[in-house]
Structure 1
């Protein structure tokens, strides 16, 4: 009997890869039309041509030995590339914004030519059913069934693993596994407004990545500085969780206008040729669960994701890897 995984992100694909290597049959359902999630890439048409923005996660590190091996393989296949941006911390005394250099002991990686290339590379060779949103779970005598929006009940499955944000796991598991639903409810994920900007001419900042304090913006990234991106000048801005929560229902056009205005104040940039906003309701884990994965032995339901460990792409891989190792053993 097959194992079902809900969510074809890094956590779900990590678990799927390990179990497939152990000879298990795995079926993955994902609500997206293609690889992405918080590693999604937004496409935009402009007079200068089509542009791509990494409007979710901006980079990732690889500290775990197993994850480093995966990243090395993906890099050799052209799905991942190292990125060494110039980084600063920006602060102000109420007037001029002052930069202070930042350094990292870790190598930074990005998907190439866009962040979702990481997930695309991991998904190769797997039975991933895109555009399949899971809306329910039923435990029956002959196994577990997953309700898919467009096609009804799918199953039976021996095990069902949820690799989705904590808030979604809480809702889907409320009736079938109250304990796992309670763990998910205890995890807090911060929202984030992201704004994508394009400019007709280069913006002279002296940096590619700026961590900002004392502003509704907390991260500014020159998207076009990443390997494999287009030559057009593009930036991605992330607002603070506090500002996002206060303005979570603001219209996208107003968010783009306000945050691009703040960007101009900080950098001196002129009006962008394109400004668009995207709201991430579940962007960054603030309160993690107490273990790398959740497991309900009686119902044979698992829960994985970066929210179990820490807000890092590598943590999502570690969560899926940890549950798969337990099931294979």
Structure 2
């Protein structure tokens, strides 16, 4: 069976690995120039040298036994590393900040030396066509075709799997699979403004990760505390969905200035040497679908992603793994 997978993130590569292992021919198309998506790494040049920021997903867990085995293999191949940051809950009340320690029973992992290393490791050995954005699907007598904005129509394929955000899935399947398009339409994904900061000297916070409440910020991470990130003092800030929606069209420079100001007020830090913002339109699932995957048997089209289950990297892998098992059976 020949299968096209649109989206070479964790969900798409999870399905691809299982399907290829079962003897099927799989090709993946991804609009990105390279591995990443929400696991992308942002590079920035400063007088002190080049910096790298994990400005999307910050870490992942491995609770599923099969996924844990994959993570162990990737760790052995130096694509993944364990991360044990000091964590607090920060609340802004009455003009002051209060911190409470946080602990987790889960091990936390990160890509090494950057988050997209996880995808790079999973993509090894697969036929991935980077820089190929899917713009249409066509069901014909001889099979399914995918139209790409650079190389035109590709096919025929026996099946097509979409491993992209729900909003993009809905648009792409509006004509070819209204049933799956309606499933995607029912899922809601929150946007997120991310701000990347660099400082010339260490910031004394007493923590590496802060989950924030009563603030425009929801999460603050000392990016430089992760394995392989170098010695420069860097932070990544994530705004709340509510603040992001209210400021979704604001100028990037103004977002960086406003949220870095919140961080400096929170920590007592001086002005950063670098402040840059990135807007994720599809960042975190708020309303997931009611099953790990969607499958239109008549059209032989499937849909997967973390938005089917929960906003976690492991959930994206579980979604792709679940649909692959159905196709293999």
Deviation (angstroms), 1:33: 0.3
1:26 is displaced (CA, Å) by: 0.1
Give how far 1:304 is off.
0.2
Matched, 1:276 2:276: yes
Q: Any gaps of 5 or more consecutive residues in structure 2?
A: none
Partner of 2:259: 259
Distance 1:218 1:159 in 2: 40
Residue 134 (structure 1) aligned with residue 134 (structure 2): yes
Distance 2:171 2:183 in 1: 12
Task: Within 5 Å, give how 1:190-205 maps onto structure 2.
Answer: 190-205=190-205
Please give the alpha-carbon distance, in whole angstroms, between the structure 2 residues aligned to 1:91 and 1:261.
Answer: 16
The residue that corresponds to 2:95 in the other structure is: 95
Give the equivalent residue in structure 2 for 1:4.
4
Partner of 1:70: 70
1:118-157 alignment runs, 5 A limit: 118-157=118-157
1:26-81 Cα distance to aligned partner (Å, 9 max, x none) = 00000000000000000000011000000000000000011000000000000000
2:112 aligned partner: 112
Which residue matches 1:324? Answer: 324
Given that 2:92 and 2:215 are in contact with CA atoms closer than 8 Å, whether structure 1 keeps it comes out as no
Quote the residue 1:161 is aligned against.
161
Aligned partners of 1:190, 1:81: CA distance in 2, in Å? 28
CA offsets 1:70-118 (integer angstroms, 9 cap, x no match): 0000000000000000000001222221110000000000000000000
- The TM-score with structure 2 as length reference comes to 1.00
Partner of residue 56, structure 2? 56
Q: Distance in 2 between matches of 1:310 and 1:124?
A: 26
Alpha-carbon distance in 2 for matches of 1:317, 1:300: 21
The separation in 2 between residues aligned to 1:230 and 1:95, in whole angstroms, is: 34
Give the secondary structure class of the aligned counterpart of 1:191. Answer: strand
2: distance between equivalents of 1:27 and 1:151? 14
Q: TM-score, normalised by structure 1?
A: 1.00
Shift of 1:2: 1.5
Alignment of 1:26-45 (within 5 A): 26-45=26-45
| 3-state SS, counterpart of residue 17 of structure 1 | helix
Mapping for residues 240-251 of structure 1, pairs under 5 Å: 240-251=240-251
Structure 1 gaps, min length 5: none
Measure how far apart 1:230 and its partner are. Answer: 1.2
**CA-CA distance at 1:170 after TM superposition:** 0.1
SS of aligned partner of 2:285: strand
> What is the alpha-carbon distance in structure 2 between the residues aligned to residue 45 and residue 269 of structure 1?
21
Task: Please give the per-residue CA displacement for 1:196-218, whole angstroms capped at 9, x wherever unaligned.
Answer: 00000000000000001000001
Tell me how many residue pairs correspond in the alignment: 329
Q: How far apart, CA to CA, are the structure 2 residues paired with 1:84 and 1:119?
A: 21
**Any residues of structure 2 matched to 1:153-232 within 5 Å, and which?**
153-232=153-232
